[in-house]
Amino acid sequence: MISTAIRLNPFKGCAGPEGTPVPWSPYGRILSERPVFTLDPRFHAGCYYVQDSSAMYVGHIFRKALDKIGAPGIRVLDLCAAPGGKSTDLAASLRERYGEQFLLVANEVMRDRSRILSDNIAIWGDPNVMVTSVDPAAFAQFAGAFDIIVADVPCSGEGMFRKDPVAVEQWSEQNVQLCAARQKRILADVWPALRHGGILVYSTCTYEDAENDDNLEWAASELGGEILPPADEFPQHGVRLTRYGNLLKAGEVPGEGQWVGALQKTADSAVCRKPDFDRLRPLRYGVPAGVEKGGKLIPDPDYALSLGYKGEYPIIELSLQQALEYLHHDPLVFPDAPRGFNLVAFEGHPLGFINNLGNRCNSLHPLARRIHMNIK
């Protein structure tokens, strides 16, 4: 049976379905069954993210990297970030450790996937995450700008065979070699952006040595780095030790397949002390409180979900059915609520804004995120 896991948002009250703890993730939970997440308002509020438990191992290795080199003011690049599971994990780990003193750039080169990434970052709510959609080579102009780069690179996908028949159909020895070559190009392109002494967290969802251990060894030799020895921490939970990393195989761990290793840069690197990431035309960075229209401040829809929300608006607490109706974009009426802009919440968790006109409400919830399934 394919397991279902979530990772709680520690900055939104850690509300979500009950489950068994994921050994390598402080907020990971493995669920006994898969609920209908679409019908849980807490999911739409960013209280938790649905993520495979094996994929959470990247966050574990990232936190070990923070132990080694992290400091306030840290800059991190999540290079292949969509749909956002790893980025939200990194953001939570950074905020727990440094408060506001960090920047996470979450990048996805595929434009359609970058929009999904941007939505998921908005729902998670961390204003210190910048979303970009550029080729990895674009980061080379920011020499030495990042303390840690996480590269969960495209791969041949053996770790997804159990749940993705298309991955099985596309697999071939030739494809493995093509993927390994592409991964080398990605690492070489982004390498100048990692500072001297910085750490690369490299991961795939395949079992192929050519894409995993061999590529990390290549990066150490050709790009200039020292492989950080992997720890044999969770053998009782099915996590294997390989030459240079940790391997999680579907059927041996609760989740799907994942391989993770880490490399510390030893090569000299120029330093871009004040990188201007605005040159990358970010899709998202921070959340404005709103925009002025006709002398009135119209709140930004995502401001309600942001950890930077300052509580300026009256709160309307919704029942479960009302929350689903709001997310479904059904008409709602709150005759006793204050006129004007109100924040609507479920169990204290903000969902968005409405403009209360008394006999009707205008919803500010983004149309692209509305629930389409039957909510009755």
Per-residue pLDDT tens over the stretch 234-271: 999 999 999 999 999 999 999 999 999 999 999 987 77
- Could you give the percent of the chain with pLDDT greater than 90? 84
**Domain membership flag for residue 184:** yes
pLDDT at position 87 over 70: yes
pLDDT band at 295 (very low <50, low <70, confident <90, very high): confident
Domain enclosing residue 358, as ranges: 289-369
d(CA 356, CA 370): 19
Same-domain status, 308 and 227: no
pLDDT band at 161 (very low <50, low <70, confident <90, very high): low
The domain boundary, picked from 278, 297, 312, lies at: 278
Same-domain status, 123 and 267: yes
Q: Would you state the structure tokens that stand for residue 88, as one six-digit string?
A: 């939200």
Which is catalytic among the residues 155, 205, 272, 361?
205
**Domain membership flag for residue 220:** yes
Give me the pLDDT at residue 293, please. 86
Give me the pLDDT at residue 362, please. 96
Reported residue count of the chain is 376
Mean pLDDT of the chain: 94
Residues 202-233: tens digit of each pLDDT: 999 999 999 999 999 999 999 999 999 999 99
CA angle 276, 281, 287 (to 5 degrees): 90
Q: What's the mean pLDDT in 65-78?
A: 93
Same-domain status, 115 and 263: yes
Q: Which of 212, 183, 237, 176 is nearest to 28 (CA)?
A: 237
- How many domains does the chain contain in total? 2
pLDDT at position 164 over 80: no
Q: Dihedrals φ, ψ of 248, to 5°? A: -115, 120
205 flagged as catalytic: yes
Same-domain status, 108 and 245: yes
Same-domain status, 256 and 330: no
Give me the pLDDT at residue 171, please. 62
* pLDDT: which is higher, 168 or 292: 292
The domain spanning residue 362 has which CATH number? 3.10.450.720
The domain boundary, picked from 258, 278, 298, lies at: 278
Amino acid found at 182: R
**Domain membership flag for residue 47:** no
Same-domain status, 139 and 200: yes
CA atoms in the 13 A half-sphere facing the CB of 186: 28
Q: In 10 A of CB 151, how many CB atoms?
A: 21
Same-domain status, 178 and 103: yes
pTM: 0.95
The domain boundary, picked from 234, 249, 278, lies at: 278
Give me the pLDDT at residue 363, please. 97
